[in-house]
Amino acid sequence: MKMQEPILDEVKLFEDIKRVNSELFAFFKEKYDFILSEKINQPQPPEDVDKLIKRFIVRSSEKPIFQKLNGADDIKDLLEDINDLAKAMGNSIDDIVQSYEEQLKNDQVVETIDMISRLVQKFRKALNARVKKFHVDDAVTVDEMQSDFFDLISKILKENLIERIIPAIYEGMKIGNVEIYDLILGKINNFLSAMGIRTLEIEAGQKINYDFCRPTESEENSTDDYRLKEVIKEIRQLPYIFDEDHIVVEGEVIGWRFING
């Protein structure tokens, strides 16, 4: 009996799956210089991008960590608290990855989340090494001490955690397997919240806030509708802030490109 030929939509779906998996692997290889074995697996259905970005929202009622520094005597205890929070985050993520590896051995997603786990451990090492070097010898006032501490902490969080790991989780979620990435993201969000960091909640369709967001435009997002000028089409990353005067990482948004005529 002759087998039925696959319908066109099924062929297109399979090709799309191969393409997005290849793009994710290229993303990791270029950004983090990891070598991955390419395997094509059927992913879980991806989530709508607008809904997906809401998973990255961080809320916090904690006082910003740098504002808890009120004198040289506070430094030791404060640094211990930060390292304890980072250790708890790292251990929790390790447990999640180990549990998932036992369920799906040699799976492409396992390799990806294992890399994220290693990046978290690198963040912990960088955090521990750099906060140990913090001193207040040159600071005269409490405001100066807090400002110096903010500069130190925000730089580490930006370069070693948020900008390195959050985009990787987002790209993984866009392909599928949202559940496992969401577990890891939850631990990172909890850590950031405990540090007093929150995200600024922005939505597609709002005007771009240039104080907190870095927009990009392209020909693909061109419009002749003047109402869409300087309006967010898609959010790639939320802004991470301690408060409105202390930005840790700018948000990344795709804006409509208005063409007059």
**Residue 8 tokens, joined:** 């066109």
Give residue 13's pLDDT: 44
Tell me 97's DSSP state: H
Q: What is the pTM of this model?
A: 0.79
* Helical H segments across 69-201, by residue range: 75-103, 108-132, 142-157, 163-175, 178-194
CA–CA dist 147, 152 (Å, integer): 9
Nearest residue to 120 via CA among 37, 196, 25, 184:
184
Give residue 10's pLDDT: 41
Residue 229, Cβ neighbours under 10 Å: how many?
15
**Residue 50 tokens, joined:** 């607008």
Phi, psi of 104 (to 5 degrees): -130, 85
Q: Which of the residues in the chain have pLDDT under 70?
A: 1-47, 104-107, 137-139, 261
Give residue 38's pLDDT: 40
CA–CA dist 246, 234 (Å, integer): 24
pLDDT, tens digit, 9 for 90 and up, residues 54-100? 999 999 999 999 999 988 888 888 889 999 999 999 999 999 988 88
**Torsional class of 235: left (φ above 0), alpha (ψ -120 to 50), beta (otherwise):** beta
Give residue 7's pLDDT: 38
Q: For residue 198, list its beta bridge partners.
A: 241
CA–CA dist 209, 74 (Å, integer): 36
Nearest residue to 249 via CA among 207, 203, 192:
192
Give residue 39's pLDDT: 34
Give residue 102's pLDDT: 73
- Are 57 and 166 in contact by the 8 Å Cβ rule? The answer is no
Give the list of residues 6+ apart from residue 113 with CB closer than 8 angstroms, or none.
96, 97, 100, 172, 180, 181, 184
pLDDT, tens digit, 9 for 90 and up, residues 218-228? 777 788 888 88
Give the list of residues 6+ apart from residue 74 with CB closer than 8 angstroms, or none.
68
Side chain identity at residue 197, one-letter code: I
Helix (H, G, I), strand (E, B) or coil at 124: helix
